[in-house]
Amino acid sequence: MARDLIDLLWRDHPDAPPSGSRGPKARVTTTSAVDSAVALADTDGIESVTIRRLATELGISAMALYTHVGSRDDLLVLMVDRVHSRQERPPFVSPSWQERIRQVAHAELEHYEAHWWLLDVDDQRTALGPGTIAKYDYELHAFDGTPVSDVDRDAALTFVADFVRGAARARRPDPHAADMAETWTRWNDRLAHYLGDTHPLAQRVGGAAGEAMNAAYSPEHAWEFGLQRVLDGLEPLVATSVGRAPETGVRPTEE
């Protein structure tokens, strides 16, 4: 039986419970299994990460995997922590906090682009892993030298991370794009008919956004737009020493 998830996450730590020395030596380790799973997800998406397929890839039986990972849900957490630990963390050199946040955001976007399946994993337990914690620590340092309180520093980083996640979601290539090409234009025609002249604002704005979307510079534009909004939003927080949110600013009993 596999060890607890927490111990598997920290399996490289000296104090982590070792994989017993009694039986035959394992043909596969947790690390190699996780790496294999990551490779699988990188190329074929998260839905291709099945116990049976991964086991076949590793040359062992399906059930033998459970010696090393516990469950599929655990495996996904281990995968996330693995790629987080692999992510590069070059030191922050720019004296401008805006530039440092840009750096964090840009690296995060590239991280998603290298591992789109990160968008498919939503498990709070990833926060327990050494890779995720190291990443968190690193990114918090981007706010060094700014007069932001601890609580706000966490909230600000979450704010940036959520923005990037949204941007990544929008940029993610659709795997069905090829098959849909023909159907899409046909559906668009039918949609135009159904819409008629209703929702003029949505049609105008959506049309403009859609055209811009097809333009070459567009994803860059959308990214730059959002990132600028993020930086402008953080500006007053970093500029003035807020400390904590004004008590009076919180509305009392709504919801």
Binding site for DNA (CB under 7 A): 1, 19-28, 49-53, 60-64, 66-68, 71-73
Site string for a second copy, 48-77 (x = CB under 8 A): ------------------------------
- The whole-angstrom separation of Cα 104 and Cα 136 is 11
Return the CA Rg of the chain: 23
Q: With binding defined as CB under 8 A, does residue 26 bind a second copy?
A: no
Give Cα 30 to chain centroid, integer Å.
22
Handedness of CA 214, 219, 224, 226 (dihedral sign): positive
Cα-based distances in Å from 252 to 40, 195, 206, 249: 49, 42, 37, 9
Is residue 121 close enough to count as binding a second copy by CB under 8 A?
Answer: no
Under the criterion CB under 8 A, does residue 39 sit at the interface with a second copy? no
114 lies in the site for a second copy, by CB under 8 A: no
Q: Binding residue for a second copy (CB under 8 A) from 71, 155, 175, 241?
A: 155
Q: Give the one residue of 18, 52, 205, 241 binding a second copy; rule: CB under 8 A.
A: 205
Q: Select from DNA, a second copy, none the partner in contact with residue 86, using the beta carbon and a kind-dependent cut-off of 5 to 8 Å.
A: none
Which residue number, 25 or 178, has a Cβ lying nearer to a second copy?
178
Q: Which of residues 44 and 224 has its CB atom nearest to a second copy in the complex?
A: 224
* Tokens 């008919």, located at residue: 193
Q: Does residue 71 contact residue 145 with C-beta atoms inside 8 Å?
A: no
Tokens of 193: 């008919």
Piece of the chain touching a second copy by CB under 8 A; list 36-44, 63-71, 93-101, 198-206: 198-206
C-beta separation of 98 from 231 below 8 A: yes
Binding of residue 2 to a second copy (CB under 8 A): no
For residue 17, the minimal CB distance to DNA (Å) is 9
CB nearer to DNA: give 32 or 228. Answer: 32
Cα 110 to Cα 40: distance, rounded to the nearest angstrom = 19
Kindly determine how many residues on this chain lie close enough to bind a second copy according to the rule CB under 8 A: 78
**Tokens 């909004």 correspond to what residue?**
229
